[in-house]
């Protein structure tokens, strides 16, 4: 376990490059693996979750050559079954690869980590059953797994799935069903949440010449069968989900920091952090490939935030609300109960520990600011977004803050603490700071 101590910081200054997008890296790897021939992925993110995706696609037959600037992927026409595939703690990798494993001949087995054991997968398994795909949970020597009985292909047909549990279920079907023997129609039975992640999947598939029709209200997806994925060279854009922590750190310290490698034209839903900051009174300059935080005139203002399509922003938005004048409410956040931790509960617990005036119900957080936060020993709950959010909260707290099990940031943003030190944050301890 690695602990780091964060000291209060009055001002940040400098210029950083946002890390590459985890979500795009995973999607581009999978699309390249399903394409024949060789493709190059430039600017990939190397993190625990993307390494999980690498393990999964190579277990099913793809070959990947890695270097610092790009990855070369040799795709595979006929997938092979994979035995005991370790997807780490990556829910996206698991949910994307379960349908894809049905394209292989034979049994594929996915190992579930402790955090993945508590995250729901039943809606995806039920949806696959409607397509005559047998996938089910099992235990092997005390280890919980999900087994997919591949038949060397997917027949196609009609299926349905709820849209309010995880958009990753829908993306998994979108990856696999273009190679079905006939067309597939997916009915989404509830309002689709986090639909921008589905748009992201469609964008990557489109780059590989895969076609599908999605209804305007995202309640039906028609995927023609027998499609061929065309290999393409791709470049991973910067990640707004990770950059949100840097932007928030600049905002609460009223600092001037530039973050490069961010395009406001991206399909990423978490670009909404820019609108959140603007509504809270932060002066931003959005340029071609980046954002310049220029401080605030009268301090941060309270805001109400609908988390339906931006669940990953909730922890850092709660921190921003702690330093804002007035009462902020973050609502439609019930899906956070099933992330790496129960994020509603862990955000509430750790910010309360720091002295925040924060209350919680089943689907929302209410914060009365500004809060006089104080340093504390923070339990990250092995959740990267909790660790990074509480690190940002510590910048204006009274006294030092210790983040326990800080290495969990490797899941999505391995250079987080290094980047913070480069703009003036004093962080002590741990091998995460170079």
Distance CA 415, CA 422 (A): 11
- C-alpha dihedral over 288, 294, 297, 303, to 10 degrees? 60
Answer whether 139's CB lies under 8 Å from 145's CB. Answer: yes
3 state SS of 107: strand
> Residue 418 is encoded by which pair of tokens?
């290094």
Answer whether 231's CB lies under 8 Å from 74's CB. Answer: no
Catalytic residue (one of 254, 270, 312, 383): 312
Reply yes or no: is the peptide bond before residue 43 cis, omega within 30 of 0.
Answer: no
Distance CA 332, CA 364 (A): 6
Distance CA 174, CA 198 (A): 9
Give the distance from CA 308 to its chain's centroid: 15
Q: Match 């938005």 to its residue by tokens.
A: 317
Over the Cα atoms of the chain, what is R_g? 21
pLDDT attached to residue 265: 85
Q: What are the respective helix, strand and coil percentages of the chain, to the nearest 5?
A: 35, 25, 40
The strand pairing partners of 73, in sequence order, are 39, 64
Q: Match 């190579």 to its residue by tokens.
A: 58
Q: What count of other Cβ atoms lies within 10 Å of the Cβ of residue 420?
A: 25
Beta carbons within 8 Å of 115's beta carbon, 6+ residues apart: 89, 340, 341, 382
Distance CA 31, CA 28 (A): 5
| Catalytic-residue membership of 312 | yes
Distance CA 380, CA 94 (A): 23
Beta carbons within 8 Å of 132's beta carbon, 6+ residues apart: 155, 157
Helix H or strand E segment including 306: strand 304-306
pLDDT attached to residue 132: 97
pLDDT attached to residue 264: 82
* 13-17/256-260 β-pairing: parallel
Beta carbons within 8 Å of 233's beta carbon, 6+ residues apart: 39, 40, 41, 42
Name all domains of the chain by residue range, CATH numbers in brackets: 4-19+238-428 (3.65.10.10), 22-235 (3.65.10.10)
C-alpha distances (whole Å) from 282 to each of 63, 277, 279, 327 are 45, 5, 7, 17
Answer whether 244's CB lies under 8 Å from 277's CB. Answer: no
pLDDT attached to residue 316: 98
pLDDT (tens place) for every residue of the chain, 434 residues total? 899 999 999 899 999 999 999 999 999 999 999 999 999 999 999 999 999 999 999 999 999 999 878 999 999 989 999 999 999 999 999 999 999 999 999 999 999 999 999 899 999 999 999 999 999 999 998 899 999 999 999 999 999 999 999 999 999 999 999 999 999 999 999 999 999 999 999 999 999 999 999 999 999 999 999 999 999 999 999 999 999 999 999 999 999 999 999 998 899 999 999 999 999 999 999 998 999 999 898 899 999 999 999 999 999 999 999 999 999 999 999 999 989 899 999 999 999 999 999 999 999 999 999 999 999 999 999 999 999 999 999 999 999 999 999 999 999 999 999 999 999 999 998 767 65
Helix H or strand E segment including 396: none
Distance CA 383, CA 93 (A): 17
pLDDT attached to residue 69: 87
Identify the DSSP state of 370. S
Nearest to 73 by CA among 29, 103, 104: 29
> Residue 34 is encoded by which pair of tokens?
């399903």
Answer whether 163's CB lies under 8 Å from 193's CB. Answer: yes
Sheet holding 220-223, edge to edge: 157-161, 184-188, 220-223, 213-214
pLDDT attached to residue 324: 98
Distance CA 434, CA 430 (A): 9
Distance CA 422, CA 434 (A): 10
């Amino acid at each position: 376990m690695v602990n780091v101590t964060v000291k209060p910081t009055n001002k940040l200054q400098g210029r950083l490059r946002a890390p590459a997008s985890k979500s795009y890296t995973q999607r581009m790897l999978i699309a390249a693996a399903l394409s024949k021939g060789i493709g190059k992925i430039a600017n990939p993110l190397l993190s625990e979750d993307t390494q999980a995706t690498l393990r999964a696609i190579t277990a099913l037959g793809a070959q990947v050559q890695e270097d610092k600037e790009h990855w070369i992927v040799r795709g595979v026409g006929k997938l092979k079954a994979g035995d005991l595939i370790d997807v780490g703690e990556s829910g996206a990798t698991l949910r994307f690869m379960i349908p894809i494993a049905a394209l292989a001949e034979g049994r594929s087995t996915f190992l579930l980590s402790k955090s993945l054991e508590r995250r729901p997968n039943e809606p995806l398994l039920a949806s696959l059953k409607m397509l005559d795909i047998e996938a089910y949970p099992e235990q092997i020597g005390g280890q919980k797994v999900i087994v997919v009985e591949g038949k060397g292909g997917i027949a196609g047909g009609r299926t349905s799935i709820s849209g309010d549990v995880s958009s990753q279920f829908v993306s998994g079907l979108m990856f696999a069903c273009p190679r079905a023997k006939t067309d597939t129609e997916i009915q989404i039975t509830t309002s689709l949440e986090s639909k921008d992640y589905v748009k992201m999947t469609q964008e990557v598939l489109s780059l590989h010449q895969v076609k599908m029709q999605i209804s305007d209200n995202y309640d039906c997806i028609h995927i023609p069968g027998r499609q061929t994925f065309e290999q393409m060279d791709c470049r991973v854009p910067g990640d707004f989900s990770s950059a949100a922590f840097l932007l928030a750190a600049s905002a609460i310290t009223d600092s001037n920091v530039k973050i490069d490698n961010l395009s406001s034209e991206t399909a990423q839903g978490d670009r909404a952090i820019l609108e959140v900051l603007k509504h809270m009174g932060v002066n931003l300059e959005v340029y071609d490939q980046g954002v310049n935080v220029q401080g605030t005139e009268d301090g941060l203002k309270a805001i109400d935030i609908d988390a339906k399509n931006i669940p990953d922003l909730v922890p850092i938005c709660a921190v921003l609300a702690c330093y804002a004048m007035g009462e902020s409410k973050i609502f439609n956040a019930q899906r956070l109960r099933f992330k790496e931790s129960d994020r509603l509960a862990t955000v509430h617990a750790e910010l309360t520990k720091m002295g925040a005036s924060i209350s919680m119900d089943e689907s929302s957080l209410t914060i009365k600011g500004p809060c006089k936060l104080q340093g504390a020993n923070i339990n990250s709950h092995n959740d990267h977004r909790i660790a990074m959010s509480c690190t940002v909260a510590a910048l204006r707290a009274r006294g030092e803050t210790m983040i326990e099990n800080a290495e969990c940031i490797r899941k999505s943003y391995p250079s987080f603490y290094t980047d913070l030190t480069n703009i003036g944050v004093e962080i002590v301890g741990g091998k995460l700071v170079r």
